[in-house]
């Protein structure tokens, strides 16, 4: 497992768990949960998390960007125009070029607007950004995103914050077969078993925020998710047996008394 490294653009990571920084009671709780999770990448909602106003508590005071990679995202953006402005601002503030694109289509279900998402991806990649894209689990649209230069494909498992787990396993399996860039499950993970399942399907990583931040014990859940991702990855690499509708004896057939 020591040589099993997650590669995103030119960056290498030992952890395959990406953690969000929103919804915690405070930044201190957020920082502790992230430390326990072992995550090496944290998402930062540029429009919601304070990363520039020094008159207020800064995220950098709690999570060192030299030790953990910040992944600026466009949470709360409903148009390509807003998403582009937000990520350009992130580049000006912190010099970030590896970013997470999220263009939502409605305020109720928070599904991505794939037309605006594709348009934004095309613009950002031409401007030199390395774009990790939150998207639907539509194999055709995901392939178009990849062909447009996306650095990672991040399909939802279920609506953001729902905790429903992977709802469309067939599409995720298709995506695993066709996707050459990192495939990261983003949104909808609720339990540790959901994270195990995503990793056993061959996904490269999972992104989790609500399931940890809103758990009754976020620190214990952070550790649970860490172990789940590691377990699921090991299971995938081990090569699971082929399921069968018939039984197969565990003991040898020869030499019976």
* Residues assigned a catalytic role: 100
CA-atom Rg of the chain in angstroms: 19
Where helices occur in the chain by DSSP H, the ranges are: 27-37, 80-94, 114-126, 139-147, 169-178, 192-200, 210-213, 218-238
Q: In whole angstroms, give the CA distance from residue 75 to residue 170.
A: 27
With H, G, I as helix, E, B as strand and everything else as coil, classify residue 250.
coil
Which among 6, 21, 3, 57 has a CA at the least distance from the CA of 184? 6
Cβ neighbours around 140 below 10 Å, total? 10
With H, G, I as helix, E, B as strand and everything else as coil, classify residue 21.
coil
């Amino acid at each position: 497992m020591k040589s099993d490294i997650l590669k995103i653009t030119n960056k290498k990571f030992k952890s395959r768990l990406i953690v969000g920084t929103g919804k915690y009671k405070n930044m201190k709780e957020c920082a502790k949960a992230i430390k326990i999770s072992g995550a090496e990448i944290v998402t930062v909602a540029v429009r919601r998390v304070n990363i520039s106003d020094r008159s207020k508590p800064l995220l950098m005071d709690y999570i060192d960007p030299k030790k953990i990679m910040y992944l600026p995202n466009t949470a709360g953006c409903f148009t390509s125009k807003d998403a582009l402005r937000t990520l350009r601002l992130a580049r000006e503030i912190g010099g970030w070029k590896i970013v997470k694109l999220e263009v939502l289509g409605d305020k109720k279900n928070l599904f991505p607007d794939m037309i605006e998402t594709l348009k934004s991806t095309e613009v950002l990649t031409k401007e030199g950004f390395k774009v990790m894209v939150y998207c639907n689990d539509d194999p055709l649209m995901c392939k178009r995103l990849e062909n447009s230069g996306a650095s990672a494909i991040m399909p939802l498992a279920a609506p953001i914050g729902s905790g429903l787990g992977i709802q469309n396993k067939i599409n995720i399996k298709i995506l695993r077969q066709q996707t050459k860039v990192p495939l990261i499950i983003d949104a909808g993970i609720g339990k540790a078993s959901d994270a195990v399942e995503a990793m056993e399907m061959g996904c490269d990583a999972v992104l989790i925020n609500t399931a940890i931040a809103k758990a009754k014990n976020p620190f214990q859940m952070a550790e649970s998710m860490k172990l789940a991702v590691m377990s699921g990855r090991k299971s995938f690499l081990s090569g699971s047996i082929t399921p069968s509708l018939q039984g197969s004896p565990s003991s040898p057939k020869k030499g019976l008394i």
